[in-house]
Amino acid sequence: MSSLGLSSSMVFGDAQALMLWFAEHFSLHNSYVGKMQTVFGTSPPAFDALDLRAQEEWIKSMTADEKPAATPNLYAWLLAHEDLHRAEWDAIGYTQDIDLSTVDFRKPDSFYDWMNFHQQIHDAEDNQLL
C-alpha cells in the first residue's frame, strides 16, 4: 500500500475521511524532513499541513448546498502545499508538470484527479525520502 493509502479509497464529500487524510498527510511530510536535511542538505519550507481552516473550507467546497470556490484559507494552503512539494522535488531531482494549487474541489472529477496526481507524486517522493 502507498504511503497515503486513504487517498485511494476516499469518497468525494466524506468529511471524516478527509480529516483523517489531513493527519496522515501531515505525518508523511514530517517524515520526509530528516532525510531532506541529512541526505540532501536542504530543509522544506514551513507549512501547516493540518490547517483546520483549510480543512473546513475544503469540506464545505464538497458538501455545502452552495459550494464556494477556492476560499482564502484553502487557496493559501494549496499554494503552500505546492511550494512544499516543489522543494521536495528539487531536493530529489524529480520533475513534475502538475500544479497542485490549481483544483476545483466542488467537482468530484477534479477531486479524484487531484488525489490521484497527488498520490503519484508522493509515491515518487517516498522512494527517495522514506
Going by pLDDT thresholds of 50, 70 and 90, the confidence category of residue 46 is confident
Going by pLDDT thresholds of 50, 70 and 90, the confidence category of residue 130 is confident
3-state SS of the chain?
CCCCHHHHHCCCCCHHHHHHHHHHHHHHHHHHHHHHHHCCCCCCCCCCCCCHHHHHHHHHHHHCCCCCCCCHHHHHHHHHHHHHHHHHHHHHCCCCCCCCCCCCCCCHHHHHHHHHHHHHHHHHHHHHHC
Going by pLDDT thresholds of 50, 70 and 90, the confidence category of residue 6 is low
pLDDT in tens, 105-121: 999 999 999 999 999 89
pLDDT of amino acid 2: 56
C-alpha–C-alpha distance, residues 117 and 122, integer Å: 9
pLDDT of amino acid 1: 43
Closest CA to 54 of 79, 30, 29, 71: 71
Residue 95 burial (C-beta neighbours within 10 Å; 0-12, 13-18, 19+)? exposed
- Asked if 28 contacts 50 with a C-beta cutoff of 8 angstroms, the reply is no
pLDDT in tens, 50-108: 899 999 999 999 988 877 666 899 999 999 999 999 999 999 998 888 899 999 999 99
Q: Where are the domains of the chain?
A: 5-125
